[in-house]
Amino acid sequence: MPHTHTRHGSSGDDLCSTDEVKIFKDEGDREDDKISSENLLVEEKSSLIDLTESEEKSQKVARPDHSPVFNKLDTHTTSFNMGYLVSPYSYANGAANGLPVTMANKIGLPPFFCHNADPLATPPPAHCGIPPYQLDPKAIGLTRPALYPFAAGQYAYPMLGSEMSQVASWHTPSVYSASSFRTPYPSSLPINTTLPSDFPFRFSPSLLPSVHATSHHVLNSHSAIVASSSKQDCGSHQDSTTNNRYPRNLDTKNTSSNQSNDSSKDISNDKKKPHIKKPLNAFMLYMKEMRAKVVAECTLKESAAINQILGRRWHALGREEQAKYYELARRERQLHMQMYPDWSSRTNASRGKKRKRKQDTNEGGNNMKKCRARFGLDQQNQWCKPCSPNLGTISTVSNNNNGGGGMSITTSSNSSPGAGVGVGVVNMLAPIVSGIVGGAISSSSSSSSSSTSSSHTHVQLMMAPNGSNGNGSINGIQVAACSQQLSPQQQAQAQAPPTYVNL
DNA sequence: TGGCCTTTGAAGCCC
DNA sequence: GGGCTTCAAAGGCCA
């Protein structure tokens, strides 16, 4: 049994380890009150995991018989050390009780969660449709690394605040409110860390491995198994639409035994040997559940961008909500372990064909992290250190009532010469603001431009308390920007100067 | 066609 | 034990 790792911050990238949000006073104490994962200390996150893991261990101690899965699943509850009493789970598949999403997929339940019967009635957050996700980097001159222009550690949602929500509702036909999106589950409901009483029946005996019954069906249906062909990813794609993450007619145990009988078949069988996927971790479960929402709300399809959003939403999740996913993940691991006791992640790690990870750190990797390192961004507030003083202000972002229905942005800058909020910056901001308030940008800006060669632009929007004046304009969106002249050394390092838009 | 991108977490390996 | 690496999902993008 693999031991439990309680390490956090997998990347080990110190540059992003301090995922701090620049909280502006204007946003008030709401941020202080909000319990988000950003506020979770490493120890707290560890406790979330450790709690579930410790319970897992305690359950195993209490259960000497580990044979069939459905016999291992307690039908009585044991209290979770977080004070929860009953299962809070409404799973993505709509199931009422604790069936991990990927496990649910295998029994044909809908893959995604709806808060209620009418998905359209489910209010997404006010930031839904914020155009950073819609920015066309080609159109606005962003380099590809800036396609998803979030500086790590900058989470759009806390910064937007209720005022932005008001702005969004003011200008968009959305009937959504910001409150319920991030609460797919009633956060006040307690968590039952034990598998719910009906859980074994979701994995009916015919679906579960047993010493008495063949595991064929189980293995066939378990989401962790995919054909080991090179198109395993395609299998995943198929699974996404067919809930068929677990291919049929695959039985690892049978395959293994057959292989042991005939070495000549080993090679061919190895090729056919099903690939048992890793159990999904908490964040993966969260992504699987929330992806469709983000796609629907932001009209995004590119997973890289969606994952950035989801990553920030994950950080914005409350401790309790995250705990649910940690618990789900723990169940996934537990079930996975029970179904494939001999499986090790090392097996998958040695698949060979996988991507050649960029060992030389000059290529690939987290571009934003690299860029932040490259330009020495301030770790605490995410500003380029030389840029922090360059704070300009969008004085007005207003609707054009000239029939075009567009908007205009007027900026001012109190920054040093050459470091103002340039036209390019405003052009870049325009669709962002447009997305915040809805509508289209028809014109923009008045402020001075600055050279973009050998420079980078670092922009951050801040929402003032009174974001909308009710007349279709927004005042007080502050913009900090600069066009920093790079040193020769920086120029050498930065072939494609990045652009950041922090929302 | 297959790897990359992008996120977080889990787990294995190496020193 | 710390650091590093890979893999989970996902779909557009690109060489």
Range of the domain at A325: 17-122+180-349
In this structure, is residue A410 part of a structural domain?
Answer: yes
CA distances from A269 to A251, A343, A344, A351 (A): 12, 17, 19, 15
Asked if strand C contacts A55 at the CB level, meaning under 7 A, the answer is: no
A387 and A498 share one domain: yes
A289 and A190 share one domain: yes
As a rounded value in angstroms, the CA-to-C1' distance for A14 and C4 is: 13
Nearest nucleotide, C1' to the C-alpha of A343?
B11
Residue with tokens 């604790």: A98
As a rounded value in angstroms, the CA-to-C1' distance for A17 and B5 is: 20
In this structure, is residue A463 part of a structural domain?
Answer: yes
A41 and A144 share one domain: no
Specify the pLDDT at position A340.
84
**CA nearest to nucleotide B12 C1': residue:** A346
DSSP H helices, A340-474, are 345-349, 367-375, 423-437
A310 and A433 share one domain: no
Nearest nucleotide, C1' to the C-alpha of A346?
B12
Is the alpha carbon torsion for A201, A202, A208, A213 positive or negative?
positive
A24 and A117 share one domain: yes
A112 and A137 share one domain: no
* Subset of residues 346-365 in chain A with CB less than 7 angstroms from any atom in strand C: 348-349, 351, 354-355, 357, 359
Distance CA A33, CA A327 (A): 24
**CA nearest to nucleotide C13 C1': residue:** A302
Nearest nucleotide, C1' to the C-alpha of A292?
C10
In this structure, is residue A356 part of a structural domain?
Answer: no
A110 and A135 share one domain: no
Beta-strand relationship, A477-480 and A473-474: unpaired
Tokens of A390: 């360059």
Asked if strand C contacts A304 at the CB level, meaning under 7 A, the answer is: yes
* Subset of residues 245-264 in chain A with CB less than 7 angstroms from any atom in strand C: 245
Query: What separation, in Å, do the N-terminal and C-terminal C-alpha atoms of chain A show?
Result: 43
**CA nearest to nucleotide C1 C1': residue:** A7
Tokens of A373: 């390192």
Check residue A145 and report its DSSP letter. Answer: G
A317 and A439 share one domain: no
pLDDT means over runs of 10, chain A (503 residues): 36 34 33 42 52 49 36 33 30 39 42 32 33 33 38 37 30 30 34 37 34 36 52 36 38 37 43 77 93 86 89 90 91 87 75 44 36 34 32 36 35 34 37 35 27 32 31 33 40 37 34
A30 and A138 share one domain: no
In this structure, is residue A8 part of a structural domain?
Answer: no
In this structure, is residue A38 part of a structural domain?
Answer: yes
By three-state DSSP, how is residue A25 classified?
Answer: helix
Residue with tokens 């009916």: A204
Closest CA to A225 of A327, A112, A324, A347: A347
**CA nearest to nucleotide B4 C1': residue:** A364
A403 and A442 share one domain: yes
Asked if strand C contacts A291 at the CB level, meaning under 7 A, the answer is: yes
Specify the pLDDT at position A226.
63
As a rounded value in angstroms, the CA-to-C1' distance for A62 and B6 is: 41
In this structure, is residue A152 part of a structural domain?
Answer: yes
In this structure, is residue A59 part of a structural domain?
Answer: yes
A140 and A242 share one domain: no
Distance CA A233, CA A352 (A): 15
As a rounded value in angstroms, the CA-to-C1' distance for A346 and B14 is: 14
In this structure, is residue A343 part of a structural domain?
Answer: yes
Number of domains composing chain A: 2
As a rounded value in angstroms, the CA-to-C1' distance for A284 and B9 is: 8
